[in-house]
Amino acid sequence: MKYDNYDVAVLGCGPAGLSAAINARVRNKKVLVIGADLCSPPLHKAQKIENYLGLPGLTGGELLNRFMDHFEMMEIERTTVKASGIMEEPDGFTVLLGEEVLHARSIVIATGIPYKSTLPREEEMLGKGLGYCATCDGPLYRDKDVLLVGHSDEAEAEARFMAEICRKVYYLPLYKGSWLDDERIQIINERPVEIIGQDFVEGLKVKDGQVYNIDGLFILGGETAPDRLIPGLLIEDKHIKVNRQQETNIPGVFAAGDCTGGPYQVAKSVGEGQVAGLGAARFASRQA
């Protein structure tokens, strides 16, 4: 068998997963991080991070490199095979990794937002004028034209925020109900069909053929519930339900970062990752 027994298995190698792994390792635990080749696609695509304490002005890629350097220094094992399932056992958990299985005493889930695309080429245009957090990227679009696609009325607050700083704000709601009434914001009552622009977003085409010329496009609130990697894991409002110790409803399973809910931010992910990593280490010690 390729994989050994671990104290802590961490699913996801974004800011939350890396923070959890480092903190469990500092507690002398045997840790495996399970993640994709490129850790944190969202952070990698962020044009500039202005709000991470002590490291202002780095691109998302640069900040991720700093995190990865720190992670490498800690000599923690990592695999790029994604986890496909977790099963509870009397003495911990079995994690399925492709054809392989591994055993861990405790688990940290830090898998970010599982996102289902609203538009074709969305993944390709992420960070090239397309984003999922208007309040994060807003300052980049000061005095420019933006269009926000809202999957729920929660997106309306972001539209109002953008109206304070942008030249023109279009809002395209994808839900039924009363939409925001704000003279600064133009409502588009159509289905979005196509992103216009190759290297950068230049416009959005809607179903009746009209093209709205814009500098930035935001798709908000379209996240789907985290995969139920573990049967019985409690989900609330599309996110994994945790308490302040980052414990889920399953003893020994912790969760951190975007998968537990907003704000979808690096600092929040790193902080939750720390609490989850320390909790998972403590749980593993009790099982030993």
Q: Which residues bind ligand FAD (CB under 6 A)?
A: 11-17, 34-36, 39-40, 42-43, 45-46, 49, 51-52, 82-83, 110-112, 126-127, 131-133, 136-137, 257-258, 264-267, 269
Which CB, 181 or 237, lies closer to ligand FAD? 237
Q: Both tokens of residue 137?
A: 């990227």
CB 60 within 8 A of CB 47: yes
Smallest distance, ligand FAD to C-beta of residue 270, A = 8
Smallest distance, ligand FAD to C-beta of residue 126, A = 6
Smallest distance, ligand FAD to C-beta of residue 73, A = 19
Which CB, 17 or 203, lies closer to ligand FAD? 17
Q: How far apart are the first and last CA of the chain?
A: 22
Q: Both tokens of residue 80?
A: 């790029």
Helix (H) or strand (E) holding 158: helix 156-165
CB 16 within 8 A of CB 270: yes
For the chain, the farthest-separated pair of C-alpha atoms sits apart, in whole angstroms, at 64
DSSP 44: H
Which CB, 172 or 255, lies closer to ligand FAD? 255
Smallest distance, ligand FAD to C-beta of residue 20, A = 9
Which CB, 121 or 191, lies closer to ligand FAD? 121
Q: Where does residue 95 rank: exposed (0-12), middle (13-18), buried (19+ CB within 10 A)?
A: buried
Smallest distance, ligand FAD to C-beta of residue 189, A = 27
Distance in angstroms (rounded) separating the CA atoms of residues 269 and 265: 6
Nearest to 264 by CA among 112, 82, 141: 112
Which CB, 24 or 83, lies closer to ligand FAD? 83
Which CB, 119 or 266, lies closer to ligand FAD? 266
Which CB, 32 or 211, lies closer to ligand FAD? 32
Smallest distance, ligand FAD to C-beta of residue 195, A = 15
Q: Both tokens of residue 86?
A: 């977790």
Smallest distance, ligand FAD to C-beta of residue 64, A = 8
CB 14 within 8 A of CB 256: no
Backbone angles phi, psi at 132, to 5 degrees: -115, 5
Smallest distance, ligand FAD to C-beta of residue 106, A = 16
CB 52 within 8 A of CB 267: yes
Which CB, 50 or 89, lies closer to ligand FAD? 50
Task: Give how far the C-alpha of residue 72 lies from the chain's centroid of Cα atoms, to the nearest Å.
Answer: 22
